[in-house]
Amino acid sequence: MKAKSKKVVIFGVLDTAELAHYYLTHDSECEVVAFTVNEQYIKEPFFKGLPVIPFEMVETMYNPDDYYFFAPMTGRRMNKNREEIYNQAKQKGYRFVSYISSRVSRFDNEIGDNCFILEDNTIQPFTSIGNNVVMWSGNHIGHHGAIKDHVFFTSHVVLSGHCLVESYCFFGVNSTIRDFTTLGEGTLVAMGSNITRNTEPWGVYVGNPALKKENIKSIDAY
Ligand SMILES: CC(C)(COP(=O)(O)OP(=O)(O)OC[C@H]1O[C@@H](n2cnc3c(N)ncnc32)[C@H](O)[C@@H]1OP(=O)(O)O)[C@@H](O)C(=O)NCCC(=O)NCCS
């Protein structure tokens, strides 16, 4: 069997980390060697048979010159949790891997680091994807667009052609975005909503056509 070329430490010990371990092990050139979380969250010394290391000292055990980092976390706090860990690992000197499923349809798109792009995403030509972007399964990402950093696509989102997605946006399941639309920074598109106009930064948009909605209590959960 061909030796795996990159040794990787994954941040997390919950579902997303378990999925990342599965996908990297079965569908990448990466070998997962350890998990890491902040010390206060360590309950067991091992996960998936691998050591769980306090994040505060991970660089002393897994030298950033020799090991890569992967933090494919959820969209909580509008992707800010994932951004914080991404920045902290970068400060420790780590380089990141991106996981791009072998079952993605894509072309020569520019794709940044620490991205987690699962099966059945279609990414059309001339659309770029920034750093720390998650695309769960089955999204359509149209042509001639740009997706900035720390964005989260859940599943079966249709992003039409020529769209600009600013950083921190979150797209709920089955949402649809009209072509030539700009999504302002931190836009939350509710599940099943149809965006027909440009959105304002940090707005929550709900319905068909989607309208900006105030006082959504659970926004912090995303
Ligand atoms: C927009 C969203 C964040 C609001 O969550 P919330 O604050 O918990 O909202 P609630 O469930 O309390 O609903 C508030 C109201 O908005 C309505 N509403 C919520 N989401 C809606 C949607 N997508 N479309 C239409 N109406 C919606 C609810 O019916 C409710 O109406 P009511 O006050 O008349 O009863 C959430 O509905 C959503 O879309 N989350 C994304 C879910 C997702 O895609 N998950 C993927 C798995 S990662």
Q: What is the pLDDT of residue 3?
A: 79
Task: Characterize the bridge pairing of strands 204-206 and 211-212.
Answer: antiparallel
Dihedral pair phi/psi, residue 7, rounded to 5°: -100, 130
Q: Which CATH superfamily is domain 6-96 in?
A: NAD(P)-binding Rossmann-like Domain (3.40.50.720)
Predicted local distance difference test score (pLDDT) of residue 88? 98
Domain boundaries in the chain? 6-96, 99-208
pLDDT tens track for 46-55: 999 999 999 9
Using 70 as the pLDDT threshold, list the residues of the chain that sit under it. 1-2, 218-222
Distance CA 149, CA 54 (A): 26
Q: How far is the CA of 145 from the centre of ligand 1 (A)?
A: 27
Q: What is the CATH number of domain 99-208?
A: 2.160.10.10
CA–CA distances in Å: residue 80 to residues 91, 102, 151: 16, 28, 10
Q: Do domains 6-96 and 99-208 have the same CATH topology?
A: no
Ligand 1 pocket: which of 76, 81, 139, 216 to mutate (most atoms within 8 A of CB): 216
CA of 74, closest atom in ligand 1: 48
Instruction: Report the atom number in ligand 1 closest to the C-alpha of 173.
Output: 44
- For CA atoms 25, 104, 165, 216, give the dihedral sign: negative
Residues recorded for the chain = 222
